[in-house]
Chain A
Amino acid sequence: MSHVLHTTFIPTTKTSLRRQFRKIHHNPTAGRIQIQSKIREIFMPALSSTMTEGKIVSWVKSEGDKLSKGESVVVVESDKADMDVESFYDGYLASIIVEEGLSAPIGSPIALLAESEDEIALAKSQTPSSSTAADAASEKDTTTTNTDDGVAAVASVKVSTTSSTAVDLGSVKVGSGVHLASEGGKRVVASPYAKKLAKELGLDLSGVVGSGPNGRVVAKDVEAAVVAAANVSVSGTGPAVAPEAAKSSGRAVVELGSVVPFTTMQGAVSRNMVESLSVPTFRVGYTITTDALDALYKKIKSKGVTMTALLAKATALALVKHPVVNSSCRDGKSFTYNSQINIAVAVAIDGGLITPVLQDADKIDLYSLSRKWKELVDKARAKQLQPHEYNSGTFTLSNLGMFGVDRFDAILPPGTGAIMAIGASQPSLIGNKDGRIGLKSQMQVNVTADHRVIYGADLAAFLQTLAIIIEDPKDLTL
Chain B
Amino acid sequence: MQSAISLSLSPSSSITRSDCSVAANAYLCTPRSLRFCGLRRKVFESKSFHSLKVSTRLVPCSRESNFNKVCAALQSNGTPSKGGFDYDLVIIGAGVGGHGAALHAVEKGLKTAIIEGDVIGGTCVNRGCVPSKALLAVSGRMRELQNEHHMKSFGLQVAAAGYDRQGVADHANNLASKIRSNLTNSMKALGVDILTGTGTILGPQKLKFGKGGSGDTFVTAKDIIIATGSVPLVPKGIEVDGKSVITSDHALKLEFVPEWIAIVGSGYIGLEFSDVYTALGSEVTFIEALDQLMPGFDPEIGKLAQRVLINPRKIDYHTGVFASKITPAKDGKPVIIELIDAKTKEPKGTVEVDAALIATGRAPFTQGLGLENINVQTQRGFVPVDERMRVIDANGMLVPHLYCIGDANGKLMLAHAASAQGISVVEQVSGNDHVLNHLSIPAACFTHPEISMVGLTEPQAREKAEKEGFEMSITKTSFKANTKALAENEGEGLAKLIYRPDTGEILGVHIFGMHAADLIHEASNAIAMGTRIQDLKFAVHAHPTLSEVLDELFKSAKVKVNSSSPIAQPVAV
Determine whether the beta carbon of A191 is less than 8 Å from that of B333. no
Determine whether the beta carbon of A189 is less than 8 Å from that of B352. yes
Chain B CB within 8 A of A195 CB: yes
Determine whether the beta carbon of B349 is less than 8 Å from that of A187. yes
Determine whether the beta carbon of B283 is less than 8 Å from that of A192. yes
Known: A82-B307, A191-B283. A196 touches B314 (CB 8 A): yes
Determine whether the beta carbon of A193 is less than 8 Å from that of B307. no
Interface residues in B, total, Cβ within 8 A: 19
Determine whether the beta carbon of B307 is less than 8 Å from that of A81. yes
Determine whether the beta carbon of B334 is less than 8 Å from that of A191. no
Chain A CB within 8 A of B303 CB: yes
Determine whether the beta carbon of A191 is less than 8 Å from that of B259. yes
Chain A CB within 8 A of B354 CB: yes
Q: How far is the CA of A181 from the CA of B480 in the complex (A)?
A: 45
CB distance from B148 to the nearest CB of A (A): 9
Q: How far is the CA of A219 from the CA of B315 in the complex (A)?
A: 12
Chain B CB within 8 A of A212 CB: yes
Determine whether the beta carbon of B480 is less than 8 Å from that of A213. no
Chain A CB within 8 A of B284 CB: yes
The digit string for B272-316, where 1 denotes a CB below 8 A from any CB of A, is 000000000001110000000000000000010001100110111
Choose from A181, A192, A219 the contact partner of B285 (Cβ within 8 Å). Answer: A192
Residues of A within 8 A of B259 (CB): 191, 212-213, 218
Residues of B within 8 A of A81 (CB): 307-308, 311-312
Interface size class of A (residues with CB under 8 A): 20 to 34
Residues of B within 8 A of A189 (CB): 352
Q: How far is the CA of A193 from the CA of B282 in the complex (A)?
A: 9
CB distance from A45 to the nearest CB of B (A): 16
Choose from A80, A187, A213 the contact partner of B334 (Cβ within 8 Å). Answer: A213
Q: How far is the CA of A187 from the CA of B348 in the complex (A)?
A: 13
Residues of A within 8 A of B311 (CB): 80-81
- B489's nearest neighbour on chain A, judged by CB, is A158
- B349's nearest neighbour on chain A, judged by CB, is A187
Chain A CB within 8 A of B36 CB: no
CB distance from A122 to the nearest CB of B (A): 33
Residues of B within 8 A of A80 (CB): 311-312
Known: A81-B312, A82-B303. A192 touches B260 (CB 8 A): yes
Q: Counting chain B CB atoms within 10 Å of each CB, which of A187, A192, A193, A212 scores highest?
A: A192
Known: A191-B260, A192-B315, A196-B314. A214 touches B303 (CB 8 A): no
Determine whether the beta carbon of B312 is less than 8 Å from that of A193. no
The digit string for B477-514, where 1 denotes a CB below 8 A from any CB of A, is 00010000000000000000000000000000000000
Choose from A156, A216, A218 the contact partner of B352 (Cβ within 8 Å). Answer: A216
Choose from A83, A156, A192 the contact partner of B314 (Cβ within 8 Å). Answer: A192
CB distance from B82 to the nearest CB of A (A): 65
- A57's nearest neighbour on chain B, judged by CB, is B303
Q: A189-B352, A196-B316, A213-B354 are in contact. List 10 more A-B contacts (CB 8 A).
A: A81-B307, A81-B311, A82-B307, A191-B283, A191-B314, A192-B316, A194-B283, A195-B316, A213-B260, A216-B260
**Which positions in A face B, CB cutoff 8 Å?**
80-83, 156, 181, 187, 189, 191-196, 212-214, 216, 218-219
List, sorted by A's number, 13 A–B pairs whose CB atoms are closer than 8 Å. A80-B312, A82-B307, A181-B352, A187-B349, A189-B352, A191-B283, A191-B314, A195-B316, A213-B260, A213-B334, A214-B352, A216-B352, A218-B259
